[in-house]
Amino acid sequence: MAKEYKFPEGFWWGSATSAVQIEGAANEDGKGMNVWDYWYKNEPNRFFDRVGPQVTSDFYHRYKDDIKLMKELGHNSFRFSISWSRLIPGGVGEVNKKAVEFYNSVIDELIKNDIEPFVTLFHFDMPIEMQNMGGFENRKVVEYFAEYAKTCFELFGDRVKRWITFNEPIVPVLGGYLYNFHYPDIVDFKRAVQFAYGTVLASARAIEEFKKLQIERAKIGIVLNLSPVYPRSNHPADLKAAEIADLFYNRSFLDPTVKGEYPKELVELLKTYNHLPEYSDSDLELIKNNTVEYLGVNYYQPIRVKAKENMPNPYGVFTPNWFYDEYIMPGRRMNPYRGWEIYERGIYDIMINLRDNYGNIGSFISENGMGVEGEERFIKDGIIQDDYRIEFIKEHLKWLHKAIEEGCNVKGYHLWTFMDNWSFLNAYKNRYGLVSVDLKTQKRTIKKSGYWYKELSENNGFVD
């Protein structure tokens, strides 16, 4: 028998993206160079099909039409990021007037179309000059970020009421300092920890500046990619492996940004291996007093672990993998294009954890989505018939609905993403959008999922 899944009144239906991934215009109107522009210029071979960030989906020139299309697909909210290197080329100093014009126009256009703008301050795109100073390892860069944040609040805070300091702050740490998939492509756990700690400080400093301005009706949060960690079994060694993986991948940012302090177990672990960052009591005070007001959750896949099969190489690089092995669960369902497990229940487990252990903080799904290669295979009558994406969204929403029924404080669901966009090393290999983008002509075509999403939003739910 069909069941109706209705969501709370005023639920946010929309999508998310980032500046680097859709804007293009990488060298236009005075924009400075960020880490991706720099890396692509120097090592284009690291990028899929050698496609860089110069043009992407050309949102910089086509935003009015794109926002009109968002409205048509039922969006009442949309998360995008401001490019630090576009707004303040070089990361510090003079504000770029052309950038102010552009972001003002985007915000105004969204509001005109009854779409609430959610603005992320940092989505993986450090100005290269800031990275050359050591990025968030360097206290000066932490302060420059706070100045940049304050500039954004002052310029756009009269209209933007939903702010986000960082998107997935753990990703530049893992990618840039441990696992070779972000610039500066360093493998050094000590520096990874310092950069992560500096990021938490930068977020707290931005929140401190935000609070000073007392922007009416505005809230500031952070977006974390949370992955529930499941042990292979209830054996104490497997449980310990899962606890440590959870400390590194979830609690390292979740606890300081929501609770205002680091988990004691993580501090002890880092101390044991002589990897604590340089810190001061005044830092800890700053973190304690500047926690987030709400939380965005990006959910794509779970983490499954088991106890180590072999001792780590004592001369090798110290990484979180010293404490667990990945567990490949027999029968798991995979997205073969992205190599990620599809496990819808994970979204429910995250929300229950936030309800029970994090004061039931107001939260929303800020990203969830499915990347598929070669979607043109599914064109029929001129439209990509992406039933697999509809199914993916629906099954995750069923678990989200269950979490809400059980008292979780969930405010919305944003899909990754509105239209096909450029991915950091994968370029356009996997497509995620409700709308397809022809890279030669930049023509936008709504996919079947786009029409379905419109109905979902209009009905504030679905029947299945």
Q: Are 375 and 369 in contact (CB under 8 A)?
A: no
- DSSP of 107-167: HHHHHHTT-EEEEEEESS--BHHHHHTTGGGSHHHHHHHHHHHHHHHHHHTTT--EEEEEE
Given 367, 373, 376, 406, which residue is catalytic?
367
**Structural tokens at position 250:** 């979830």
Residue 388's H or E segment, with its range, is: helix 387-405
Which residue is it, tokens 């004061």?
Answer: 359
DSSP category for residue 181: S
Q: Is 216 a catalytic residue?
A: no
- Residues 310, 291: Cα–Cα separation, whole Å: 39
395, amino acid identity:
E
C-alpha span between 122 and 438 (Å, rounded)? 28
* Own/partner pairs, 371-380, CB within 8 angstroms, 24+ separation: 371/335, 371/337, 371/338, 371/423, 371/430, 371/431, 371/432, 372/335, 372/337, 372/430, 372/431, 373/337, 373/429, 373/430, 373/431, 375/431, 375/436, 375/447
Backbone angles phi, psi at 79, to 5 degrees: -105, 125
Which residues are tagged catalytic? Answer: 367
